[in-house]
Structure 1
Amino acid sequence: MKHSKIARLLALACVGILMAAALAGCAQQNSAANEQQAKSRQYMSSVNQTMEDLSSRLESFEDAVSRGDAVTMRTQADNAFKVLDALAAIEVPEGLDDVQTGYVDGSNKLKEALNAYIGLYTEIDSATEEHPFDYATYDERVKSIQELYDEGVSLLEETDKKATEL
């Protein structure tokens, strides 16, 4: 009888230990899930701030384009490149790698377009009577560059949409 009480107490103690361990495991899982959510929110907050900075920098670039000012375009593009590089450098939490890839791909398209705009306007600025700029190709080149720019913006917008769906 004494052994059966001890056996019951040991069994109850084992059940108690197992339940405590299970509860601790659940708490750790909840804690890990909460930590992952916090990292994801921090990532998206960083991306959002970076996008706001980028928007401001791109407005300044577009202003320089509208004036045909290649020197200011270069400066504003360099400022935008810093923001785009910062976007690519944001630490990506687990599960958001595809989102980051979308942001980086969109950023690369924008960089390519900004460089193409600068190249075009630098070419115009450096034209001389001996080596005039071929304005016959201007409209097509601007259209092509604008399409590349729009593609980069679209990739960023699609990535934003994808991120909000997660």
Structure 2
Amino acid sequence: MKRTNLVKILTIALSGVLVAAVLGGCMAQNTANTEQTANRQYMSQVNQAMEDLTNRLDGFNQAVTNNDLVGMKTQADNAFKAIDDLNALEAPEGLKDIQTAYVDGCNDLKDALTKYIDLYTEIESATEEEPFDYATYDARLKEIQDTYDSGIEHLEEADKKATEMPN
């Protein structure tokens, strides 16, 4: 009698452990799926933000080509909105370093645009009484280019990290 009770208790206990293991496996799989879904949604949002930024930077480049200072400012403001949208994205826990690289890159691009507009504004505002100091032009243009290049490097770093993510 004691043996049959012991067998029943062991059977029930083993069944409980088996059910717990199966449920635990399902929960782990659901957690992994949830994380993958969040990662995909985030990367989709980043992709959309970067596409918006690219389109807006094309507008800025067109304004530069046309020597249109007002257009440059308008298009830069549009690009800044796209950058702000990217900065506002909430990255899932595992993608925080990627978000940081994207934000750093975009902030460098924002700085480069601002510096370029400032330089161009100074040139356009120059008068005979207060001429533009062309002695500083090359150094300032190099600084702008370096800031831009830094931004591109950060964005490439972020893209590389994103492509190396496990699925």
Q: How far is 1:22 from its partner? A: 1.0
Summarize deviations over 1:118-153 as a string: whole Å, max 9, x none: 101111111111111122332332232122112212
Identity %: 55
Aligned pair count reads 165
Where in structure 2 are the equivalents of 1:81-160 lying within 5 Å? Answer: 81-160=80-159
Moved more, 139-148 or 150-159: 139-148
Aligned-partner SS, 2:53: helix
Please give the alpha-carbon distance, in whole angstroms, between the structure 1 residues aligned to 2:71 and 2:112.
16
Provide the TM-score with structure 1 as the length reference: 0.94
Please give the alpha-carbon distance, in whole angstroms, between the structure 1 residues aligned to 2:45 and 2:151.
19
- One-letter amino acid of the counterpart of residue 144, structure 2: I
Please give the alpha-carbon distance, in whole angstroms, between the structure 2 residues aligned to 1:20 and 1:45.
37
For 2:27, the equivalent position in structure 1 comes to: 28
Where in structure 2 are the equivalents of 1:43-82 lying within 5 Å? Answer: 43-82=42-81
Summarize deviations over 1:4-33 as a string: whole Å, max 9, x none: 112101110100001100110111011001
Contact 1:110 1:148 in 2 (8 A): yes
C-alpha RMSD of matched pairs (Å): 1.2
Aligned-partner SS, 1:28: helix
Please give the alpha-carbon distance, in whole angstroms, between the structure 2 residues aligned to 1:68 and 1:149.
20
- One-letter amino acid of the counterpart of residue 73, structure 1: M
Alignment CA distance shift 1:105-1:116 (3 Å): same
- One-letter amino acid of the counterpart of residue 82, structure 1: K
Please give the alpha-carbon distance, in whole angstroms, between the structure 2 residues aligned to 1:23 and 1:37.
21
Moved more, 109-118 or 121-130: 121-130
Stretches of structure 2 that go unaligned for 5 or more consecutive residues are none
Provide the TM-score with structure 2 as the length reference: 0.94
Please give the alpha-carbon distance, in whole angstroms, between the structure 2 residues aligned to 1:141 and 1:21.
66
Please give the alpha-carbon distance, in whole angstroms, between the structure 2 residues aligned to 1:107 and 1:35.
28
Aligned-partner SS, 2:13: helix
- One-letter amino acid of the counterpart of residue 3, structure 1: K
Q: How far is 1:91 from its partner? A: 1.3
Please give the alpha-carbon distance, in whole angstroms, between the structure 2 residues aligned to 1:63 and 1:148.
20
Q: Which runs of 4+ in 1 moved over 3 A?
A: none
Please give the alpha-carbon distance, in whole angstroms, between the structure 1 residues aligned to 2:147 and 2:61.
15
Please give the alpha-carbon distance, in whole angstroms, between the structure 2 residues aligned to 1:61 and 1:153.
17
Please give the alpha-carbon distance, in whole angstroms, between the structure 2 residues aligned to 1:156 and 1:150.
10
Alignment CA distance shift 1:46-1:80 (3 Å): same
Aligned-partner SS, 1:96: helix
Please give the alpha-carbon distance, in whole angstroms, between the structure 2 residues aligned to 1:136 and 1:68.
21
